[in-house]
Amino acid sequence: MKRLMYLLPMGLLLLLGLFLLIGLGLNPRLVPSPLVDKPVPAFELPALEDPARKVGSADFNGEVVLLNIWASWCVSCRQEHQLLARMTDRYGVPIYGLNYKDEREDGLNYLRAFGNPYVWNAHDLEGRVGIDWGVYGTPETFVIDGEGRIRYKHVGPLTWDKIQNDVLPLVERLRSETL
């Protein structure tokens, strides 16, 4: 009985250590999204550039698009920003922006400083739309098909390798399916 009193805590400690070791080996960017293959959450928000104008999910108009969640305070967003512009310029991929939990003037200054690769930017100051989309933080990017379904979610900054190997092939495949 005494031996069991010593072995039980030791066994529990080893089990806990095993779970921690497994957890350290997981990729934090591989966050499953329950929204993949589901219709986009409908939203309408004021445009960042013109608060009197309303923009939202209805503007995707049956084409394959990307929705990029970004903020001026997000260092990683700056890292991917030029790649988004390159993707739009080279491949004609329409990218819509969701400016997340950001002051309007800060977001506008960011776009003036780094350029604006977006068709439009919705201003989600309180983050309510971000919650509906399951946003964990910024940046996050969604690929939306022509039927208005989310087909892919990337958490964190996009890299050119990720764009070339995952995003662009998916966009091309989805475009061919909608023709």
pLDDT tens digit at each of 179 positions of the chain:
676 677 777 777 777 766 666 656 655 544 556 778 899 999 999 999 999 999 999 999 889 999 999 999 999 999 999 999 999 999 999 999 999 999 999 999 999 999 999 999 999 999 999 999 999 889 999 999 999 999 999 999 999 999 999 999 999 999 998 76
Contacts of 98 (CB under 8 A, 6+ apart): 45, 67, 68, 69, 70, 121, 122, 124, 129, 130, 133
Strand, helix or coil for residue 45: strand
CA distance 67 to 147: 15
What's residue 178's pLDDT?
A: 72
What's residue 35's pLDDT?
A: 79
Comparing C-alpha atoms, which of 111, 165, 166 is closest to residue 142?
166
The identity of residue 174, as a single letter, is L
Identify the helix (H) or strand (E) that includes residue 85. Answer: helix 75-91
Decide which of 3.60.15.10, 3.40.50.1820, 3.40.640.10, 3.40.30.10 is the CATH code for 33-178.
Answer: 3.40.30.10
pTM across the whole model = 0.82
